[in-house]
Structure 1
Amino acid sequence: MIPARYAASRFPGKLMQDLAGKPVIVRTYEAARDTGLFDAVIVVTDSEIIAEAVQRAGGQVVMSQEVHETGSDRLAEAVVDIDTDIVVNVQGDEPFTEAESLEKLIRVFREDPDQQVDLASLMTEINDPEDIANPNTVKVITDKDGFALYFSRAPIPYQRAEEPRAVYFKHKGVYAFRKQALLDFRRLPMLPLEAVEKIEAIRFLEYGKKLKMVQTRISGIEIDTPEDLERAKAAWT
């Protein structure tokens, strides 16, 4: 499922910006569909403009009936009446979505027969100091088994001494949920840490959900700003 909101705060209308002849949201939908991993790929939106673009491309759309603060809330509303075990959330601004990383997420649940994992998400190592310091880059730290301990827009962990060198991971906003975890998210109110950081993944941690992080070597380009869009255009082949 692909949550798609037209009125993005940092780059309004970004999902309808042209990327090599098609809107960004259509490129993202096609990338998810073309992985061949899913029984269905559904765009969930509150925008008639986005809905029409996706439908013209042959895609399936569910229209949101309520106003939502997060993509997870939007998907939770849409998935209530859908018969599924696992829901994979691909952000609408991820046109470089690819099969390798998504397959790793799905594998987490295949290898969890006792259903200890509530949801899984992707992270990729970052080394650029500007990227590490950038508040638009969400960082994540994990325990020894790869479960998320915390997410922050600040550089975490803090490099206190020269050694050992800190390793930084960027959180990519791609999730795989057990359906119940997604439904729980919708009914649980936002708590202070999520409100301060403006990172929806923190809500799962604040309520004790088990969030498994999966490392991927593929970073792609998330389109958060006009500059990102220009980078995506230059990288598109």
Structure 2
Amino acid sequence: RSGTDRCAEAMGKLSGEAPDVVINIQGDEPFVDASQLQALMACFDSPDTQIATLVKPFSEKDSYETLANPNSPKVLLNKEGEAMYFSRSVVPYLRNVQQEDYLQHHTFYKHIGIYAYRRDVLTQLAALAPTVLEKAESLEQLRWLENGYRIRTAITYVENVAVDTPEDVALCLTELARRK
């Protein structure tokens, strides 16, 4: 079961009126900034927004190893700021560019694991069966793209500390100590 499935289940248990937009903060993103939630909600100023998520540009100072880390999914955006594809691999491939120079030749975006959905769309997403690309990349949002849903993105410059590996736990503990 995905985080989205669990979010839809929780929404179904709400008594009273359900919200128009539901935000899903993944458990591996413990340090969400209020500005990120505001940017996410601003995506819904457009009535066409079905799903929204956050992306952060990689810095030109980042190493290729940072860019290539499979625990840091990358996002390809269209001209409207909608996600076209998510991958654990570096996409796009830059022909005739050395890997160590990739970040000087293209803006790559890192996916931040926070989603927002219109209530009715969340219910529809939870009913979708897993897809080939989702299984290949182990990224649930590919299921939505494969089924024709659009994902609007908001850019954040806040550096989140995600917990994907045991080493990340140590970083989170350091961040908690810093915030005290």
TM-score, normalised to structure 2, is 0.87
Correspondences of 1:195-210 after superposition (within 5 Å) = 195-210=135-150
Show the counterpart of 1:78. 10
Identity over the aligned pairs, expressed in percent? 36
Paired residue for 2:105, among 161, 165, 177?
165
Deviating 4+ runs (over 6 angstroms): none
Per-residue CA distance 1:80-120 (angstroms, 9 max, x = gap): 243110000111222211101110000111x21xx211110
Deviation at residue 208 of structure 1 after TM alignment: 0.8
Q: Give the superposed CA RMSD.
A: 1.5
Show the counterpart of 1:142. 77
Give the letter aligned to residue 48 of structure 2: Q
Q: Does 1:214 align with 2:160?
A: no
Q: Does 1:152 align with 2:92?
A: no
Correspondences of 1:1-237 after superposition (within 5 Å) = 69-82=1-14, 83-109=18-44, 111-112=45-46, 115-126=47-58, 127-162=62-97, 165-236=105-176, 237=178
Alpha-carbon distance between aligned partners in 2 of 1:193 and 1:94, rounded to the nearest angstrom: 23
Which structure 1 residue ranges, 5 or more long, are not aligned? Answer: 1-68
Whether the 8 Å CA contact 2:43–2:153 is kept in 1: the answer is no
SS of residue in 2 equivalent to 1:87: strand
Which structure 2 residue ranges, 5 or more long, are not aligned? Answer: none
Give the letter aligned to residue 218 of structure 1: V
SS of residue in 1 equivalent to 2:105: coil
Aligned length, in residue pairs: 166
Structure number with higher relative contact order (C-alpha < 8 Å, ≥ 6 residues apart): 2
